[in-house]
Structure 1
Amino acid sequence: MKLFNPIKTGAVFAMLFTSGMMITDASALTVYTAGPGSLAKSLATGYEKQTGVKVNIFQATTGKVMARLEAEQANPQADVLISASWDTAEELQQRGWLLPYQSNNAAKVPAEFKTDHYVAQGISALGIVWNTKSGTPEPKEWADLTTDAFKDRVTTPDPSLSGASLDLLIGLQNSMGDRAWQLFGKLKDNGMAIAGPNAQALTPVLQGAKAAVFGAVDYVTYASIQQGEAVKVIFPASGTVVAPRPMMILKSSQHAADAQAFIDYVLSEEGQKAVADAWLMPARTDVGAQRPLISDLNILPAQAGGSADRGSVLQRFAALFSKS
């Protein structure tokens, strides 16, 4: 699967560097991250206190982060990348862009969430997000969103823009076979709306315009609940998928030792508690959180047979929802 679209470098730099999102410091460690901005700041602050090394942060969506990396190939700036997509790490490793590193603090990270070149910072899961004031019955399973009570009242992230959403489609297909596509067809017939990225699917549910999200990334909703929003995260007993958020060191880094120390810090007990405070599941199994963990969920296999297979699932889903 090709992650990067052809982009004119000059246009990308003009867009990104006029945004004022990051002030560079040549002596500092530069971290590009897709994820909660508050978490990035917390981890940078903790690392700076521990090491005295300053951290420059560029925080944006995965697409914008990847576009910036692509545009900077001739003059790389990032030392560490934290992505919201495991596919990103796999693609960059295949390109030969990553520096191998295994932190001693990764000992308690499950094997499926680490390799020689990257390791999960934390993990999110996909579920149903339901507005408790919507007047609809609380859904327990994915299929509940196909009932008359949810007619025209369900959103879902666009799987072409959300790797985690595509993982859910693949996980359900792997678990249910053709019955998964029957489910998707019923959701389509029931008026499920394909939104943009994850936040665009969640917003109308938070506002009460829609009743539920099919396949919402959970940590954003947990933060909304903490702020008083009338929504609930529901993980169907039939299963769901998780989305590990990989951290990696760019081979082009001029601060490799500092980058390794940053990975060590994020995987330390202190760093993992900061991850938990952002409502993500810590990557380490010995650090708790005030939310369901991997052991509490029925995890579906989200592996596909390569990028072509992922593309075929995406194309089939798009074709289904393009039918009148």
Structure 2
Amino acid sequence: MRIECIVRRLMVVCIATVVLAGFGSVLAQPSGSLSFYTSMQVDVVEDIITAFEAAHPGVTVELLYSGSVELEQRIYAERDAGQIRADVIWAANPAFFLKLKDEGLLMAYESPEAHAVPAGLKDEDHMFIAGRVFNMGIGYNTSMVSEAEAPKSWAELLEWGSRAAMASPLHSGTSFTALGAFVQNDDILGWEWFEQARENGMQVLRGTGDVTRGLTSGEFPVIKGIDYVLANQAAEGAPVAFLFPEEGAVTVASPLAIPAGAANVAAAQAFIDYIISQEGQEFMATKFFIPVRTDVDPPAGLPTADQIVSLEVDYDALAAEDAELRERFSELF
């Protein structure tokens, strides 16, 4: 009788444990609204959000899109007001994230998926991690310029004068990184490249979207362009192509981070986990981003991150010289 009673008690305990474990797993699922700030192009990021929400149906992503510089200004304004309202920030300027880290504005998070991401693509203190890799190089309109005629180097791009265009680093985060990369590699590019671009009449437009539209419409036969943007345009039938300049592309590891005061930390962590997971990076590859994981193949026709010839960039120096670089560029253009 006593044995039977003990068995019954054990069964009750086991059942209760299973029920509580199941209940706990339900509670552990992220839910609610996720405030997502990004400078990524809307037509690309909306598909990413749809894929994440399908994987996490309890979460609704509230998107705030802005150009990189405007986004940075908004975040600083929110900081000054006492609270950054984003749960996740994903932008194109690594130097900006270094400044946020230095100010103590980011929350450390080491994703269980981070093991597959090389050390060079994540912060050593787990304050941010790259969710995508992309490149700035040369874009050309294939209905106006043949592959043989297209400029193969940054130096050759200068020869196109007013028929070429670039986005302003005063508004585009990627173009700001490119500005720093050119200036830091002064033995082959430097400020001299921009001075020559001005002298030759190269057009400076506001943002990446503006120069891309100029290329697809035929307003400009060549631009300083971004690989994934042009690949997505080409996939939709636009007459555009991308090439890597001989001196080196501007390769950007675009960071993801959680602000220190994030309201929905569980959803923010789930978002980062998804983006850098194998599933997430395979999805990113369908949008022509180069994966940050070593176990995911790049999009067809694109190199892996370690095969790209890139200009070296010192992001700590870029963060420190931010104002000086912007001021000199504004004086030139």
Q: Check whether TM > 0.5.
A: yes
Out of 143, 165, 170, the residue aligned to residue 180 of structure 2 is 170
TM-score w.r.t. length of structure 2: 0.79
RMSD: 2.5
Change (3 A) 1:237 1:108: farther
Change (3 A) 1:260 1:141: same
- Structure 1 residue 140, shift from structure 2 partner: 0.6
| Structure 2 counterpart of 1:186, one-letter code | Q
Aligned equivalents of 1:183 and 1:45: distance in 2? 41
| Structure 1 counterpart of 2:113, one-letter code | N
| Structure 2 counterpart of 1:85, one-letter code | N
1:221 matched residue in structure 2: 230
Larger radius of gyration: 2
Aligned equivalents of 2:36 and 2:247: distance in 1? 37
Out of 197, 204, 207, the residue aligned to residue 187 of structure 1 is 197
The question of whether the paired residues in 2 share the 8 Å contact of 1:36 and 1:278 is answered with no
Aligned equivalents of 1:163 and 1:45: distance in 2? 25
The question of whether the paired residues in 2 share the 8 Å contact of 1:118 and 1:246 is answered with yes
Aligned equivalents of 2:219 and 2:321: distance in 1? 35
Change (3 A) 1:31 1:142: same
Give SS of 2:295's match.
coil
| Structure 2 counterpart of 1:288, one-letter code | D
2:114 matched residue in structure 1: 106
The question of whether the paired residues in 1 share the 8 Å contact of 2:35 and 2:86 is answered with yes
Q: Spell out, residue by residue over 1:129-178, the C-alpha distance to the aligned partner (whole angstroms, 9 max, x if none).
A: 1112225721111111233xx23201111111122212223223333437
Ranges in structure 1 where 5+ consecutive residues have no aligned partner: 1-25
2:18 matched residue in structure 1: none
Change (3 A) 1:134 1:306: closer
Aligned equivalents of 2:71 and 2:286: distance in 1? 24
Change (3 A) 1:76 1:284: same
Asked if residue 144 in structure 1 is aligned to residue 152 in structure 2, the reply is no
- Structure 1 residue 269, shift from structure 2 partner: 0.8
The question of whether the paired residues in 1 share the 8 Å contact of 2:185 and 2:311 is answered with yes
Asked if residue 83 in structure 1 is aligned to residue 91 in structure 2, the reply is yes
Give SS of 1:152's match.
helix
TM-score w.r.t. length of structure 1: 0.81
Change (3 A) 1:117 1:135: closer
- Structure 1 residue 81, shift from structure 2 partner: 1.7
2:325 matched residue in structure 1: 313
Aligned equivalents of 1:219 and 1:124: distance in 2? 7
Change (3 A) 1:74 1:27: farther
1:286 matched residue in structure 2: 295
The question of whether the paired residues in 2 share the 8 Å contact of 1:82 and 1:245 is answered with yes
Aligned equivalents of 1:179 and 1:246: distance in 2? 26
Change (3 A) 1:44 1:133: closer
The question of whether the paired residues in 2 share the 8 Å contact of 1:80 and 1:259 is answered with yes
1:243 matched residue in structure 2: 252
Alignment: residue pair count:
293
Aligned equivalents of 1:232 and 1:76: distance in 2? 38
Q: Spell out, residue by residue over 1:236-273, the C-alpha distance to the aligned partner (whole angstroms, 9 max, x if none).
A: 12112212221111222233233222211111111111
The structure with more helix, counted as a fraction of residues: 2
| Structure 1 counterpart of 2:325, one-letter code | V
Q: Spell out, residue by residue over 1:156-203, the C-alpha distance to the aligned partner (whole angstroms, 9 max, x if none).
A: 111111222122232233334375333333222221011111111222
Change (3 A) 1:260 1:177: same
Out of 154, 157, 161, the residue aligned to residue 164 of structure 2 is 154
Give SS of 1:104's match.
coil
- Structure 1 residue 67, shift from structure 2 partner: 4.9
| Structure 2 counterpart of 1:201, one-letter code | V
Change (3 A) 1:33 1:306: closer
The question of whether the paired residues in 2 share the 8 Å contact of 1:39 and 1:274 is answered with no
Aligned equivalents of 1:59 and 1:296: distance in 2? 34
Aligned equivalents of 1:278 and 1:91: distance in 2? 29
Out of 289, 292, 314, the residue aligned to residue 303 of structure 1 is 314
| Structure 2 counterpart of 1:78, one-letter code | A
Asked if residue 276 in structure 1 is aligned to residue 295 in structure 2, the reply is no
1:54 matched residue in structure 2: 59
Out of 276, 295, 302, the residue aligned to residue 267 of structure 1 is 276
